[in-house]
């Protein structure tokens, strides 16, 4: 039911909508801005902040490429270069890739599942502030010459107390704590939203695939991120109070760090990858005009990838001298994970075969995936083989591989999805022309930058080197890569210009400009604060296509922020619940937590004294308000009105 | 207006870039034979104290210098006589007693000139950067530096509390009153 | 130009890996082409009839998945065979070399039952053709990675772990290796020269390495020797046959016989030795060797001594 132009007489529905608008409105002014709990607002903030970090990380990459363009250049010295690649990797992985996927989840999942709000909105707000403060902490430290310089993976002993002088490695380790805490709380919220906030009738097998991908990702976050928090905490403890986790002379082991880090690190890349697979299914479905082929297969692929991803981490450690039998297991697992990914690709090709392509910018990004991610996935199969990995590990071949899978597998779908959901989130359409230009520049620039790196790795160029000698055949390829980097920068700038232009002058978007089938397109662009009124009942997949005049739910209060809680599997009605109102306490608690985290890299007492402000913040946050208890949906209060 | 304020704040931050984290790799080397006159005691004739020495440690509270100093302490075999601060053949370096003074320039002079009863003169064998790094490290052994900059534990069997967790010792001469 | 390329193998294992690479490249390229052809067919096909039926699509996807699984199992098998080949060198009749990775150079010691016959050198590994070599890897500080692409894959050098790598070089020549695990400021300049030569030349070389220090016949060289022994050099370096016995830096006894200095950063020449000794921090900023402040004459004397003979 899209927002039709207002008829001459305000109907009962219009009056209810006006009242709902007031009930769900944000508080005005500075306080309101800091207290926001609307999931669309927070989702937009996540996305914008993540894109800002993406731009910063990209600038660092440009600097690195300039330094590597010619052999034995002295543009950037060794110390700065080490900081550049560390900041580039850390920013892209922790401050851009995961937050942007989460941000899209926060913004879109409640809309897709027909909910009025996200679960635990104040927790999500807290998650945003922690992400922002963690990112600021890292970058301000970089500006103060305390930026980390040991790589985004921060191996010990180099990052340990003996070889990592000063506080640089501690800044890295604590940034992890910020961003992983943010990830964990958002993941919790997304899981509960998907399990309990779905519109009545939206059983799990009617849920959009993007929601499934966010669900699996959130589950992976819950298991993977504690591992890296343990690792980074152990590192801080080693550095600050002389524990011996990684000290081989006192019974620890540097290899322990690698196991702990990569147990997180490998699932991390799938955390970045899986939502993008969900986006692919979404884009292909919409732009071929038919329900996606192989829904069950696609969902099972997502779930099985999520599980198998936890069994691959040792493939980052093939050169460390582990026993061969153990390594073989990880070769097999690393190759086998290609099967669910392949299954998804085949289902998408089948979908394209059966549909009619709408040649719009988001579809271009989705099609580019096949060319780019496939190369990366295949080089991944090569890297899974221990023997081959022993030669190309830690060379530019790996750099090429992971950029192909990350950019091809995640960024291309992401840019397509941002283009696709832009009208929904902002109410404006992006320019098609600028979109195609940005896409073309990105596709060409990306391949020009990263394809030569395969050859560089085969010719023996290792990673993380601030310069290289002439005479080994590496000069021309490096220059080519730098030229490609310039094109990529142009592409990103073009995309940004498109966004800025669209926000000012873009056409106003209708509720469903792409004629898509999922529920978020059943409400206005941008949606009102309460998302849906009335709340829709779902009777099949892609209900905007299959059920144009749906049954609705009536009886939810317009004077309170009521959401409908449903059951996990079949989404039958369970109870009504009052969603939390805006509050400043998540922000205050985030400030207090940040002080605790930052202080604790200087002295262990910060944990003790710092927990007092945190306790105050939490007490303020959870102080019992006047919210009513969850109410049963009695027959007298909620009726399904038959069409 | 908001933009201007942001620029000013960021500019200030850049300017105040952290001294502790500086990594001085191109430290100019000095002629190894020249060492200025540095008093090794606080006793002086007459009423007013003598003017302060012209020699200043370039690595005051610099974490990289202390970390390098710790490495050099083993490399140049200071451990052979001074152990890891507890002393043995040579005096302890982590306590409050200093025979020839515990201020940075005094430690520097002791290293460069050597001292009676067994401390060799390292003037010919160390360049200025290494000398001052050792000075910075020796200061950290008695807790005379900020704990942020002092080294943590090393990757070896533990002999004692790491320098970053040591309480500051006073600097006392043998025979002088605290 | 191909000194560091894995596609120009000079040893048994590198050759096996290179063969594996071509197999993988061909198979994955075929897969890529097949998928792209299917995609293009899906796009270009004019589906007047709504495309393949559910049943046809199911069969197509299932066939593709089965083909994928079979291909992957095939690749795993080929890899397993190669892995067996790589591990097949272990034998009792081998030469043993201990290599210690240090920031940022390679400390190489040829082992021998008699300690006096051991040879310590730095950054240059000479190997006889066709002989199996066992290299024991240790780290003195952080994690490094020993990697000579022409001979084998890499093996990490981890403090507290006793890793080893077995090599057999089959083609004489000069090859380059490089540290392949980020190890700090000068990770980029931690290279290794590997010279593979016939057995008799190797025997000559190692006999020469066992000779004591350079000749101090000329006056300048004698003065150079004095500076090395009594000045800053001996705190870190060893020159066998003299009083210089420092162990933390490379052994300089036969430094002029090596092809490069500073771990592959500069080719060996008197001019480069002068440049290095004058201020190593200009060549390799952050390196553990300080700028010593020696005068021009002193440096010339030291170079005359160290750069003297074999």
Taking residues A144-172, what's their average pLDDT? Answer: 95
Cβ pairs bridging A and C (under 8 Å): 234
Domain count, chain B: 1
> A320-329, B25-34, C122-131 — which is least confidently predicted?
B25-34
pLDDT at B4 exceeding the cut of 80: no
Domain count, chain A: 1
> A190-194, B16-20, B139-143, B170-174 — which is least confidently predicted?
B16-20
pLDDT at A536 exceeding the cut of 50: yes
How many CB atoms lie under 10 A from the CB of residue C295? 11
- pLDDT tens digits along B32-79: 456 677 888 777 778 877 776 667 888 888 999 999 999 999 999 999
How do strand C155-157 and strand C163-168 relate by DSSP bridges?
A: unpaired
Residue A5's pLDDT is: 59
Whether residue A288 lies inside any domain: the answer is yes
- pLDDT tens digits along A92-104: 999 999 999 999 9
For residue A89, CA distances in Å to A92, A185, A319, A402, A500 come to 5, 23, 21, 12, 27
- pLDDT tens digits along A601-619: 999 999 999 999 999 999 9
- Look up the ipTM and state it: 0.95
Cis check for the bond before C300: say yes or no (omega within 30 of 0). Answer: no
Integer Rg of chain B from CA: 18
Residue A1's pLDDT is: 45
For residue B110, CA distances in Å to A2, A126, B37, B150, C28 come to 85, 56, 12, 21, 68
Instruction: Classify residue B6 as exposed, middle or buried by CB count within 10 Å of its CB (0-12, 13-18, 19+).
Output: exposed
Taking residues B16-33, what's their average pLDDT? Answer: 68
Task: Give the residue on C whose Cα is nearest the Cα of A455.
Answer: C5
Domain CATH number, residue A190: 1.20.210.10
Query: DSSP E strands: which ranges in chain C?
Result: 95-102, 105-110, 119-122, 124-128, 132-139, 144-146, 155-157, 163-168, 173-178, 191-197, 260-261, 266-267
- pLDDT tens digits along A480-505: 999 999 999 999 999 999 999 999 99
Q: What percent of chain A has pLDDT over 70?
A: 96
Question: Taking each helix axis from N to C terminus, what angle separates A39-68 and A412-426, rounded to the nearest 10 degrees?
Answer: 140
Contacts of A30 in chain B (CB under 8 A): none
Taking residues B13-17, what's their average pLDDT? Answer: 57
Residue A305's pLDDT is: 97
Looking at chain C from residue 114 to 153, which residues have their Cβ under 8 Å from any Cβ of chain B? 141
Task: Give the residue on A whose Cα is nearest the Cα of B64.
Answer: A165
Instruction: Classify residue B46 as exposed, middle or buried by CB count within 10 Å of its CB (0-12, 13-18, 19+).
Output: exposed
pLDDT at A223 exceeding the cut of 70: yes
pLDDT at B135 exceeding the cut of 90: yes
Banded model confidence at residue A3, pLDDT cuts 50, 70, 90:
low
- pLDDT tens digits along C223-233: 999 999 988 89
Whether residue A559 lies inside any domain: the answer is yes
Residue B58's pLDDT is: 86
Spatial CA neighbour of A112 closest among A272, A281, A294: A281
Residue A301's pLDDT is: 97
Q: How many Cα atoms occupy the beta-carbon half-sphere of A363 within 13 Å?
A: 19
Domain CATH number, residue B90: 1.10.760.10
Check the CA dihedral B95-B96-B102-B103 and report its sign. Answer: positive
Instruction: Classify residue A456 as exposed, middle or buried by CB count within 10 Å of its CB (0-12, 13-18, 19+).
Output: buried
Banded model confidence at residue B172, pLDDT cuts 50, 70, 90:
confident
Euclidean distance between CA atoms C183 and C140, whole angstroms: 12
Residue B28's pLDDT is: 62
Inspect the interface and report whether the beta carbons of C291 and B27 lie closer than 8 Å: yes
Dihedral angle computed from the Cα positions of residues A55, A57, A62 and A63, in that order, rounded to the nearest 10 degrees: 130
DSSP state letter for A206: G
pTM beyond 0.90: the answer is yes
Looking at chain C from residue 250 to 309, which residues have their Cβ under 8 Å from any Cβ of chain B? 279, 281-282, 285-286, 288, 290-293
Q: What percent of chain C has pLDDT over 70?
A: 97
pLDDT at A637 exceeding the cut of 60: no
Spatial CA neighbour of A280 closest among A207, A341, A210, A350: A210
- pLDDT tens digits along C176-190: 999 999 999 999 999
Spatial CA neighbour of A204 closest among A545, A570, A621, A494: A570
Inspect the interface and report whether the beta carbons of C17 and A331 lie closer than 8 Å: no
Taking residues A629-642, what's their average pLDDT? Answer: 50
Task: Give the residue on B whose Cα is nearest the Cα of C228.
Answer: B125
Measured between CB atoms, does A300 come within 8 Å of chain C?
A: no
Whether residue A162 lies inside any domain: the answer is yes
> Are residues C156 and C256 in contact, defined by beta-carbon separation less than 8 angstroms?
no
Whether residue A487 lies inside any domain: the answer is no
Taking residues A390-408, what's their average pLDDT? Answer: 97
How many angstroms away from the CA of C284 is the closest CA of chain B?
10
For residue A238, CA distances in Å to A416, A609, B153 come to 44, 21, 8
Residue C310's pLDDT is: 36
How many angstroms away from the CA of B9 is the closest CA of chain A?
11
Whether residue A395 lies inside any domain: the answer is no
Contacts of A333 in chain C (CB under 8 A): none
- Tokens representing residue B113 in the block: 């000139």
Whether residue B14 lies inside any domain: the answer is no
Residue C164 phi/psi, 5-degree rounding, is -145, 155
Largest CA distance in chain C: 97
**Chains with 3 or more CB pairs closer than 8 angstroms to A?**
B, C
Taking residues B93-110, what's their average pLDDT? Answer: 90
Measured between CB atoms, does A352 come within 8 Å of chain C?
A: yes
pLDDT at A628 exceeding the cut of 70: no
Residue B178's pLDDT is: 42
Contacts of B151 in chain A (CB under 8 A): 161-162, 165
Residue B12's pLDDT is: 62
pLDDT at B31 exceeding the cut of 90: no
Task: Give the residue on A whose Cα is nearest the Cα of B159.
Answer: A250
Euclidean distance between CA atoms B11 and B16, whole angstroms: 9
Whether residue B149 lies inside any domain: the answer is yes
Whether residue A381 lies inside any domain: the answer is no
Whether residue A434 lies inside any domain: the answer is no
For residue A111, CA distances in Å to A28, A194, A197, B102, C204 come to 24, 11, 10, 69, 79
Spatial CA neighbour of A51 closest among A101, A87, A112: A101
Residue A641's pLDDT is: 45
What's the CA angle centered on A262, arms A259 and A265, to 5 degrees? 160
More confident residue, A279 or B38: A279
In terms of residue numbers, what domain contains A143?
A: 9-355+515-642
Q: What percent of chain A has pLDDT over 90?
A: 89
**Which residue in B14, B18, B68 is closest to A146 by CB distance?**
B18
pLDDT at A467 exceeding the cut of 80: yes
In terms of residue numbers, what domain contains B175?
A: 64-153+161-178
The b/e string for A462-475 (b: 16+ C-beta within 10 A; e otherwise) is bbbbbbbbeebbbb
Whether residue A175 lies inside any domain: the answer is yes
Whether residue B139 lies inside any domain: the answer is yes
pLDDT at A393 exceeding the cut of 90: yes
The residues of chain C scoring below 70 in pLDDT are 1, 46-50, 308-310
Task: Give the residue on A whose Cα is nearest the Cα of B63.
Answer: A166
Whether residue B4 lies inside any domain: the answer is no
Inspect the interface and report whether the beta carbons of B125 and C291 lie closer than 8 Å: no
Inspect the interface and report whether the beta carbons of B130 and C159 lie closer than 8 Å: no
Euclidean distance between CA atoms B129 and B79, whole angstroms: 20
Q: What distance lies between CA A552 and its chain's CA centroid? A: 32
How many angstroms away from the CA of C95 is the closest CA of chain B?
31
């Amino acid at each position: 039911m899209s927002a039709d132009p207002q008829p001459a007489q305000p109907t009962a529905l219009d009056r209810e909508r006006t009242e709902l608008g007031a009930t769900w409105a944000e508080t005005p002014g500075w306080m309101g801005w800091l207290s926001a709990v609307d999931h669309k607002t927070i989702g937009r903030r996540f996305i914008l902040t993540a894109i800002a970090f993406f731009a910063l990380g990209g600038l660092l990459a440009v600097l690195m490429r300039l330094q590597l363009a010619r052999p034995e250049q002295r543009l950037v010295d060794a110390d700065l270069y080490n900081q550049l690649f560390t900041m580039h990797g850390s920013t892209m992985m922790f401050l851009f890739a995961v937050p942007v996927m989460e941000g899209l989840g926060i913004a879109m999942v409640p809309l897709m599942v027909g909910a009025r709000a996200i679960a635990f909105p104040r927790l999500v707000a807290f998650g945003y502030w922690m992400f922002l403060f963690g990112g600021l902490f890292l970058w301000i430290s970089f500006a103060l010459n305390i930026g980390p310089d040991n790589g985004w993976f921060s191996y010990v002993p180099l990052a340990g107390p003996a070889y990592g002088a000063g506080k640089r490695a501690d800044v890295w380790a604590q940034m992890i704590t910020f961003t992983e805490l943010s990830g964990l709380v958002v993941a919790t919220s997304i899981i509960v939203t998907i399990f309990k906030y779905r519109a009545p009738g939206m059983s799990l097998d009617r849920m959009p695939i993007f929601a499934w991908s966010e669900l699996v990702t959130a589950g992976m976050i819950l298991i993977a991120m504690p591992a890296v928090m343990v690792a980074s905490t152990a590192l801080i403890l080693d550095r600050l109070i002389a524990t011996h986790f990684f000290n081989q002379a006192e019974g620890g082991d540097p290899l322990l760090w690698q196991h702990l880090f990569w147990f997180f690190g490998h699932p991390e890349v799938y955390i970045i990858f899986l939502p993008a697979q969900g986006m692919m299914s979404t884009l292909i479905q919409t732009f071929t005009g038919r329900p996606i082929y192989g829904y069950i297969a696609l969902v099972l692929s997502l779930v099985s990838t999520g599980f198998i991803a936890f069994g691959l981490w040792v493939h980052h450690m093939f050169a460390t001298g582990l026993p061969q039998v153990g390594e073989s297991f990880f070769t097999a697992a690393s190759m086998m994970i290609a099967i669910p990914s392949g299954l998804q690709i085949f289902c998408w090709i089948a979908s394209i075969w059966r549909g009619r392509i709408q040649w719009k910018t988001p579809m271009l990004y989705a099609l580019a995936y096949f060319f780019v991610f496939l190369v990366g996935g295949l080089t991944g199969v090569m890297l899974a083989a221990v023997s081959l990995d022993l030669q190309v590990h830690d060379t530019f071949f790996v750099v090429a591989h992971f950029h192909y899978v990350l950019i091809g597998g995640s960024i291309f779908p992401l840019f397509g999805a941002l283009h696709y959901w832009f009208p929904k989130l902002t109410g404006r359409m992006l320019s098609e022309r600028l979109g195609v230009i940005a896409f073309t520049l990105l596709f060409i620039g990306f391949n020009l930058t990263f394809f030569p790196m395969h050859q560089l790795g085969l010719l023996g160029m290792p990673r993380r080197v601030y310069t290289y000698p002439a005479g080994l055949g590496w000069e021309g390829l490096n220059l080519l890569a730098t030229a490609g980097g310039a094109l990529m920068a142009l592409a990103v700038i073009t995309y940004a210009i498109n966004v800025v232009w669209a926000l000012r002058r873009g056409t106003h978007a209708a509720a469903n400009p792409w004629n898509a089938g999922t529920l978020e397109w059943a409400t206005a662009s941008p949606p009102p604060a309460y998302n849906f009124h009335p709340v829709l009942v779902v009777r099949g997949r892609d209900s905007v296509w299959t059920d144009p005049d749906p049954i609705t739910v009536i009886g939810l209060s317009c004077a309170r922020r009521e959401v409908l809680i449903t059951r996990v599997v079949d989404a039958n009605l369970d109870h009504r619940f009052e969603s939390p109102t805006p509050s400043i306490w998540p922000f205050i608690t985030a400030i207090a937590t940040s002080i605790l985290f930052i202080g604790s890299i200087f002295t262990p007492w910060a944990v003790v004294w710092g927990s007092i402000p945190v306790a105050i913040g939490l007490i303020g946050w959870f102080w019992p308000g006047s919210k009513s208890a969850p109410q049963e949906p009695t027959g007298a209060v909620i009726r399904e009105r038959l069409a | 207006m908001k933009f201007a304020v942001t620029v000013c704040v960021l500019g200030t931050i850049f300017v105040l870039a952290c001294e502790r984290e500086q990594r001085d790799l191109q430290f100019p080397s000095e002629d190894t034979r020249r060492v200025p006159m540095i008093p090794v005691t606080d006793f002086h004739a007459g009423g007013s104290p003598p003017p302060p020495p012209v020699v200043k440690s370039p690595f005051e509270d610099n974490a990289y210098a202390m970390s390098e100093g710790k490495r050099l302490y083993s490399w140049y075999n200071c451990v052979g006589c001074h152990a890891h601060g507890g002393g043995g053949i040579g005096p302890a370096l982590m306590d409050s007693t200093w025979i020839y003074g515990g201020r940075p320039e005094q430690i520097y002079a002791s290293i460069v000139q050597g001292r009676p009863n067994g401390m060799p003169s390292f003037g010919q064998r160390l360049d200025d950067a290494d000398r001052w790094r050792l000075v910075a490290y020796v200061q950290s052994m008695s807790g005379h530096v900020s704990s942020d900059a002092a080294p943590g534990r090393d990757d070896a069997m533990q002999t004692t509390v790491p320098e970053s967790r040591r309480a500051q010792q006073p600097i006392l001469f043998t025979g002088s009153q605290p | 130009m191909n000194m560091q390329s894995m596609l120009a193998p000079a040893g048994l294992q590198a050759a096996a890996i290179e063969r594996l690479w071509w197999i993988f490249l061909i198979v994955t390229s075929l897969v890529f082409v097949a998928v792209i052809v299917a995609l293009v067919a899906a796009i270009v096909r004019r589906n007047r009839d709504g495309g393949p039926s559910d049943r046809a699509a199911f069969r197509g996807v299932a066939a593709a998945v089965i083909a994928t699984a079979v291909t992957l199992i095939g690749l795993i098998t080929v890899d397993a065979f190669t892995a067996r080949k790589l591990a097949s060198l272990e034998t009792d009749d081998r030469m043993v070399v201990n290599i210690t990775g240090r920031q940022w150079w390679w400390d190489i010691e040829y082992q021998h039952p008699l300690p006096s016959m051991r040879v310590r050198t730095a950054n240059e590994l000479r190997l006889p053709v066709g002989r199996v070599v066992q290299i024991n890897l240790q780290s003195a500080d952080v994690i490094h990675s020993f990697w000579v692409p022409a001979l084998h894959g890499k093996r990490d050098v981890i403090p507290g772990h006793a890793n080893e790598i077995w090599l057999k070089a089959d083609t004489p020549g000069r090859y380059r290796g490089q540290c392949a695990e980020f190890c700090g400021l000068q990770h980029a300049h931690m290279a290794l020269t590997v010279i593979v030569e016939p057995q008799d030349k190797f025997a000559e070389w190692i006999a020469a390495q066992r000779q004591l220090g350079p000749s101090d016949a000329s006056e300048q060289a004698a003065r150079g020797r004095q500076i090395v022994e009594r000045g800053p050099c001996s705190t870190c370096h060893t020159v066998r046959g003299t009083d210089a016995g420092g162990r933390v830096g490379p052994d300089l006894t036969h430094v002029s016989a090596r092809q490069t200095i500073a771990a592959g950063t500069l080719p060996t020449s008197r001019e480069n030795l002068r440049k290095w000794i004058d201020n190593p921090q200009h060549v390799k900023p952050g390196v553990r060797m300080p700028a010593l402040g020696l005068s021009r004459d002193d440096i010339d004397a030291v170079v005359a001594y160290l750069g003297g003979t074999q």
